[in-house]
Amino acid sequence: MSKLLVLLALKAALVLLASASALGQRPAPISGDQAGSGPAVPPAPPVVSAPVAAASSSSPSSSSAAASSRPGCSLGGFHPVGDTWFTGGRDGCLKYTCQRDGVVSSQPCPRVLAPQGCSVQDGDADALYPACCPRRECKPEAAVPLPAVVVEAVSTTTTAAPPSSSSSSSTTTEAQTSTPSTTTASP
């Protein structure tokens, strides 16, 4: 019967420890009355956290001092305002920019559409942005051609000045630019 009480007390202590660790709190020590007549459990060693450097640290190479002395962003290292950096592979295919207010913005790969005769191919997974982005590949014989721009001379008029006045001439050329859907003329 005594062993059963000890086991129940240990189980209660474990449940108490588990619930306290889930909440991020240290449990209160168990008194002798709560533990029963079983063997005493040594107290857990105190948690020691690393000291945090102050912003007024005399070490100029520390990242906290660099961040406090000039504006920038701290993501995977310090980046000054306006800096752009890229990731790829397991880190994700992204373009990062450090904004003026110290906030990092990220830009994923652009959306790739594949019209008829084209397909979307995966990018190089080991490369950095934008080489890791998907790309459109089209077969030359299946791709829809772009409309050609045609430039034609419409008319050329040359007017010579009369021989009695100054010897100058005026030339006017009109060109017509056309695509399959529009026609424009320029003087």
The one-letter amino acid code at 36 reads G
- The ranges assigned to domains in the chain are 2-35, 71-139
128 has pLDDT over 70:
yes
DSSP 79-90: EETT-EEEEBGG
DSSP code, position 128: B
Average pLDDT over the chain, rounded to whole? 65
Percentage of the chain beyond pLDDT 70 is 39
CA 79/CA 60 separation, integer angstroms: 16
DSSP-derived 3-state class of residue 183? strand
**For the stretch 120-157, what's the b/e string if a residue is b when 16 or more beta carbons lie within 10 angstroms of its beta carbon?**
eeebeeeebbeebbebeeeeeeeeeeeeeeeeeeeeee
pLDDT of residue 145: 57
More confident residue, 56 or 132: 132
Specify the pLDDT at position 18: 53
Q: Is the pLDDT of residue 151 over 90?
A: no
Residue pLDDT, tens place only, 156-167? 434 444 445 444
Digit-coded pLDDT (tens) for 57-75: 444 444 444 445 788 999 8
CA distances from 150 to 22, 46, 176, 180, 185 (A): 73, 82, 8, 9, 12
- In this prediction, residues 180-187 reach a mean pLDDT of 42
Q: Which residue has the higher pLDDT, 29 or 79?
A: 79
pLDDT of res. 58: 42
